Amino acid sequence: MAHTEKATFAAGCFWGVEAEFRKLKGVIDTQVGYTGGYTQNPTYKEVCTDRTGHAEAVEITFDPKLIRFEDLLGHFWNMHNPCTLNRQGPDVGSQYRSAIFYHNAKQKEIAEKEKAALIKAGKKVVTEIVPAGVFYRAEEYHQRYHDKHGGSCSLS
């Protein structure tokens, strides 16, 4: 089996974010869920109250020989608006925040460098860059939602 790595991003409603990442060659698997909060085993209903501290996020398993973390990060920056605080499109609340949950020092360094470059270019980026913590897999009906139900997603 190929060597794989993980990347975790929050960029608004996780349905569309997952669908976009699943299209990329080198992405082996994805799962949607909740991370970055303080409630253990949160449910979707609880996360939607904006009181658990969690973000809707996508955990990506990828083959770094086929797609680099930098490439995933490039898609992340382009698929949402990293300059809106706790909002993506019509979705409002800290659970829809823009965040990169890094899994190692190299991911942190790359994310911080790219964020700094965007800020230097005049963007008011509010994306959090924080260590990956416990990732709680969302309820099964959220997994691959667009594959199951069709639909497109406006991510910004």
Q: What is the pLDDT of residue 1?
A: 55
Q: Ramachandran region of residue 81, left (φ > 0), alpha (ψ -120 to 50) or beta? A: beta
Is residue 13 annotated as a catalytic residue, yes or no? yes
Query: Domain residues for 107?
Result: 5-149
Closest CA to 96 of 135, 58, 142, 146: 58
Query: Is 156 within the bounds of a domain?
Result: no
Q: What is the pLDDT of residue 89?
A: 85
Query: Is 70 within the bounds of a domain?
Result: yes
Active-site residue identified among 13, 48, 83, 153? 13
Above 80 in pLDDT, residue 146? no
Query: Is 88 within the bounds of a domain?
Result: yes
Above 50 in pLDDT, residue 153? no
Query: Is 92 within the bounds of a domain?
Result: yes
Query: Is 27 within the bounds of a domain?
Result: yes
Above 90 in pLDDT, residue 142? no
Average pLDDT, the chain: 91
